[in-house]
Amino acid sequence: MITASLLHNALIVGAILFSLGLVGILTRRNLIVMFLCAELMLQGVSVTLVAWSRYHGDWGGQILVIFVLTVAACEAAVALVFILQAFSRTGRLDAVAWQALREDNLPRTVDRELPAGDTAPPSWPRLSPAGIRPDSDDNQALQRDHV
């Protein structure tokens, strides 16, 4: 059993997480980030469910969260496969790349002007020196420069 104030706090945390996830899923165009945001919304719901479950002393909420976990796992498996498919079709992880459902005579939505600040090359994290220095492979560096 938890106190009412803890319940309220937990509910507010759940609401915040849910709202953040919602904003993310509405704005971010990267498919994987959108997916992360969906998981964030699920987390908000889970917190809310557990809070209520504990407040009422009823197992139902926690059981439901267990099933939410299960379904989220399934969803992740299937959705990631689809994201990979989409990527192999367009070469991008962009939700805006898929707009074939628009009206016939509407022009295709294209990216607006990119913000100037972001055009600078990103700063790379430095890896701590450990072991021997790997051989420099330009091609590989090009592929994986961002990680």
Partner 1 sequence: MSPFSPTTLLVLVPLLPLLGAICTILLGRRLGARGHLPAVAGIAGAALVAGLLLVSTVNDVRGDGNGQATRPVEIIAELWQWATVDDAHAGGGDAAGTPVAPGISALDSFSATVTLRCDPLTSTLLVIITGVGLLVAIYSIGYMHDDPGYPRFFALVAMFVFSMSMLVAASNFLLVYVFWEAVGACSYLLIGFWFTRPEAARAAKKAFLVNRVGDFGLAIATFLLWMTYGTLDFHDTWAGDTVVQGILGHTRLADAEGFVGGAVGTAICLLILLAACGKSAQLPLHVWLPDAMEGPTPASALIHAATMVTAGIYLITRSAPLFVGCPGALAMVSIVGATTALVAAGIATVQNDLKRVLAYSTISQLGYMFASLGTGSMLGFTAAIFHLVTHAFFKALLFLGAGSVMHSMGGVIDMRRFGGLRQVMPVTAATFLIGACALAGLPPFAGFFSKDEILAALHAKAHPDQHHSDHADAHAADQIAPNRLATPFRQAAFASNRTALESDAGLERVGLDALDHPSTWQTLFWMSLFTAGLTAFYTFRAVFMTFTGPKRVPTEAGHHPHESPTVMTVPLMILAGLSLLAGWVLFATGGLAWFLAATPSLTAPAIVRTAVTHAFHVDLAVQGSLAAAIGIAIAAIGHLGKRSDSPQMERFLGPLGTLLENKFYFDAIYKALIVRPLEGLSLLSALIDRNLVDGTVDAVARVPLSWGAVVRRLQSGLVQRYALAGVVGVLAIVLALAWQLRP
Partner 2 sequence: MDQVSVAPAGMLLAGSVTALAAALWLLLPKALDTPGTRRLGALLGAIAILGFAATGRTLGCLGADAVFLVVAGVAVVSGLATIVTRSPVYAAIWFALTLAGVSGVLLVLGAQFLGVATIVVYAGAILVMFLFVLMLAQPSGMASYDRVSSEPLLAAVSGAVLLGLLTLSVGRLSASAPPACCAMPSRAQAAAEAVRPQTATPSQAAPQNQMTDADEVARLGAELFGRHLFAVEVAGLLLLVALVGAIAVVSRAEAADGDQGRSRR
Residues that bind partner 1 (CB under 8 A): 22, 25-27, 29, 95-96, 98-103, 106, 109
Give the closest residue to 44 by CA, choosing from 63, 73, 17, 68.
17
Residue 106 CB burial class (10 angstroms; 0-12, 13-18, ≥19): exposed
Interaction between residue 17 and partner 2 (CB under 8 A): yes
Q: Please tell me whether residue 10 binds partner 2 under the rule CB under 8 A.
A: yes
Which residues 63-102 are close enough to bind partner 2 by CB under 8 A? 63, 65-67, 69-78, 80-85, 87-88, 91-96
Rule CB under 8 A: which of 29-68 touch partner 2?
29-30, 32-33, 35-37, 39-40, 43, 46-47, 50-51, 53-59, 62-63, 65-67
Of 3, 29, 142, which Cα lies nearest the Cα of 95? 29
